[in-house]
């Protein structure tokens, strides 16, 4: 079994990991306008999704109420 490195020394595996993670680092900060646009779009989609879901639930409830009230039955195949 190998001894763990002492102090600040990195094992070859750790050095490779640091090198790979370093390549993922962004040298420049992201474009703030792009970030705002993406967040605005995501918030809009969330709001639209919530409204669409509410409308769907209401329409489904009205449909089920109509079935119960008028005794409408589905045709059997």
Task: List the one residue out of 28, 25, 44 whose CA is nearest residue 36.
Answer: 44
Residue 40 has pLDDT above 80, yes or no: yes
Q: Which has more confidence, 63 or 32?
A: 63
Q: Residue 53: its pLDDT value, please?
A: 96
Residue 47 burial class via C-beta count within 10 angstroms: exposed 0-12, middle 13-18, buried 19 and up: exposed
| Contact predicate 49/42, CB 8 Å | no
pLDDT at 1: 39
More confident residue, 76 or 3: 76
Q: What is the pLDDT of residues 42-76, one digit of tens each?
A: 999 999 999 999 999 999 999 999 889 888 776 66
Query: What's the mean pLDDT in 1-5?
Result: 50
């Amino acid at each position: 079994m190998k001894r763990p490195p002492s102090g600040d020394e990195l094992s070859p595996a750790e050095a490779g990991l640091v090198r790979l993670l370093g390549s993922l680092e962004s040298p420049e900060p992201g474009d703030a306008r792009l970030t705002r646009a993406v967040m605005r779009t995501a918030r809009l989609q969330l709001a639209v999704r919530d409204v669409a879901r509410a409308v769907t639930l209401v329409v489904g409830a009205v449909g089920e109420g109509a079935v119960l009230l008028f005794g409408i039955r589905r045709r059997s195949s």
